[in-house]
Chain A
């Protein structure tokens, strides 16, 4: 049993007081997507724009982007593309691996983006979303906010469970 599972097991056994539900307007879920996480050079050699342009040129739709510089100075780029374009996207990345400077590459072929709205910049919405999903043992692959929603990328098989547990944590109209 890994460290995370042990913590989860203990927390489930002890039980935690149920916090008050937070009122929201809705929970959205995307169609089925594929997520690709690339490790690219950082700083001036960052090839994020080239990756995005490459996908655009080949009509690959990108529905979710997370980009930041990690502790080692690499650019971490997480993209979600329509699931039917997964093979094409991987093929393009393979062919252009050297020119884009791809250092590492991970993928999840079946994911969905779950979005909660409104976010309204409230810290407790983000906290409740992260804690509720992790407490249920759901792996959050990526998370961000854009405009009035806060979104996370989950494996497609976890989505039903996620919607159920979020329904307990948030109050929907």
Chain B
């Protein structure tokens, strides 16, 4: 059976006012993403969320989330970077947030991710992207749905109050 008891997790970490950058169909070759990460490094921009997946035909999709204010510093160079990466396109999604759920032990408790994302879906929260590894899960949602997501996760898990 899946999870039955209410699991205790750490207080949620929520990163708001972010922008999602989706680089589509980058050729799978060594160093293909270097122009982007060099740009981020040069401007001292932390990567709040990163995900890479298979886009078929030896291509990859790359998604990152960075702070909105940092994006304005990068914007003038992004077109050139996208070209150098040979990405087919760059899509932007503004006003997103990353919610981190830590401590639910996704790695050893079957049903935990179903519980979390089932509850979010039932509440009508849009989940653009999910990255889950070991004990932690991060999801990208619209910034204006953060309060609703917090309520849903608070009902689903036992979250100690921040001291």
Identify the A interface with B (CB < 8 A): 2-4, 7-8, 11, 28, 30, 37, 48-50, 52-71, 76, 78, 106, 113, 115, 120-124, 126-127, 130-131, 134-135, 140-147, 149-151
Contacts and interface: CB of A to CB of B under 8 A. Distances in A.
Contacts of A106: 54
Contacts of B156: none
Q: Is the interface of B mostly helix, strand, loop or mixed?
A: mixed
Nearest to A51: B114
Given A49-B120, A64-B133, A140 B52 contact: yes
Contact of B63 (A68, A131, A147): A68
Contacts of A30: 107
Given A49-B121, A64-B133, 6 more contacts: A61-B109, A66-B131, A121-B46, A122-B46, A145-B47, A146-B136
B108 interface: yes
Q: Which of B34, B49, B54, B133 has the most CB of A within 10 A?
A: B133
What class of interface size applies to chain B in its complex with A?
A: 35 or more
A60 B127 contact: no
A65 B137 contact: yes
A9 to B, nearest CB: 11
Contacts of A78: 53-54
Contacts of A58: 110
B53 A76 contact: yes
B153 interface: no
B30 A135 contact: yes
Contact of A146 (B2, B27, B34, B134): B134
A20 to B, nearest CB: 13
